[in-house]
Amino acid sequence: QQQVKQSPQSLIVQKGGISIINCAYENTAFDYFPWYQQFPGKGPALLIAIRPDVSEKKEGRFTISFNKSAKQFSLHIMDSQPGDSATYFCAARMSRGSYIPTFGRGTSLIVHP
């Protein structure tokens, strides 16, 4: 059972464009939603995270939009750069019970120069 569904599986964007990756979750007990960025040959690294008490969080060119009623959240990368080319994982975690984050299946982003 996949508790966090991520789309698209792959994404190609031109330099300067907006990259959008979407995730949907099922378990309403999730209360922490991080995004991880993974470059080839490296481990994933935390990029940005949000809690459900806010609808948006922005850090530089990266923004998370959160829709609690729809149980959806998305990552927006503004002014996408070739250096943003990586695999992005959304995740969801509970503060109580199983605290292990559940990962989406990942989105491979390629930003063309």
Partner 1 sequence: DTAVSQTPKYLVTQMGNDKSIKCEQNLGHDTMYWYKQDSKKFLKIMFSYNNKELIINETVPNRFSPKSPDKAHLNLHINSLELGDSAVYFCASSQMLATNEKLFFGSGTQLSVL
Nearest approach in angstroms of CB 105 to partner 1 is 5
Closer CB to partner 1, 80 or 104, in the complex: 104
User: Residue type for 71, please?
Assistant: K
Nearest approach in angstroms of CB 16 to partner 1 is 26
Phi, psi (5° rounding) for residue 46? -60, 130
Phi, psi (5° rounding) for residue 85? -60, 120
**Interaction site with partner 1 (CB under 8 A):** 32, 34, 36, 38, 41-46, 49, 87, 89, 93, 95, 98-101, 103, 105-106, 108
Closer CB to partner 1, 11 or 49, in the complex: 49
> Alpha-carbon distance 41 to 3, whole Å?
27
Nearest approach in angstroms of CB 100 to partner 1 is 6
Quick count: other Cβ atoms within 10 Å of Cβ 58?
A: 12
